[in-house]
């Protein structure tokens, strides 16, 4: 279920299309590039050999994990493919920064338990995503 009032930390990694496709194939069975993937803790793929992803940290990991206090929760990791987001933004006429904010919000909602597998859940998640984006 969804969670509200959660305090904690997330890691954000920016990676290229080739690596995004590999991760999407390995963890979701989808052999294609995507804009954003979210992995709830303890499955944080850039931190371990489980995903053979040593290259993630060198690309851009803004991890706050080392700074967690005792009462903070590690919510997980959001992985974004900026070239994919940029291409989508160009096609849709949306500014890149706004498209990037949209996928970051989307990933955060997944870490908080939202999903879009069912139409009703999708409508709820995407409405919340757009509400949050409107405040940015």
Domain range 8-133, its CATH number among 3.40.718.10, 3.40.390.30, 3.40.50.620, 1.20.1260.60:
3.40.390.30
Give the span between the Cα atoms of 68 and 100, in whole angstroms: 25
83 within 8 A of 17, measured Cβ to Cβ: yes
Query: Measured between alpha carbons, how far is residue 107 from residues 54, 77, 126 in Å?
Result: 21, 8, 12
Domain extent listing, the chain: 8-133
pLDDT in tens, 17-70: 999 999 999 999 999 999 999 998 865 455 443 443 333 433 344 444 444 455
Q: Could you tell me which of 131, 89, 100 has the C-alpha nearest to residue 12?
A: 100
Q: For residue 7, what pLDDT is reported?
A: 77
Q: Could you tell me which of 54, 52, 51, 35 has the C-alpha nearest to residue 43?
A: 51
Per-residue DSSP letter, 35 = S
pLDDT in tens, 64-80: 444 445 556 788 999 99
Record the pTM: 0.76
Strand order in the sheet with 8-14: 8-14, 73-80, 36-40
Stated as kind and residue range, the H or E segment containing 73 is strand 73-80
| Proportion of the chain above pLDDT 90, given as a percent | 65
In terms of phi and psi (left: phi > 0; alpha: psi -120 to 50; beta: otherwise), the region of 116 is alpha
């Amino acid at each position: 279920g969804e969670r509200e009032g959660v305090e904690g930390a997330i890691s954000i990694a920016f990676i290229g299309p080739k690596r995004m496709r590999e991760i999407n194939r390995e963890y979701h069975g989808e052999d294609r590039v995507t804009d954003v993937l979210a992995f709830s803790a303890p499955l944080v793929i850039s931190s371990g050999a489980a995903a053979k992803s040593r290259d993630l940290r060198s690309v851009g990991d803004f991890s706050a994990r080392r700074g967690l206090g005792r009462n903070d929760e590690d919510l997980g990791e959001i992985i974004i493919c900026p070239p994919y987001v940029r291409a989508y933004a160009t096609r849709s006429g949306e500014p890149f920064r706004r498209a990037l904010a949209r996928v970051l919000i989307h990933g955060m909602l997944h870490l908080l338990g939202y999903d879009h597998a069912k139409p009703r859940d999708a409508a709820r998640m995407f409405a919340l995503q757009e509400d949050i984006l409107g405040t940015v």
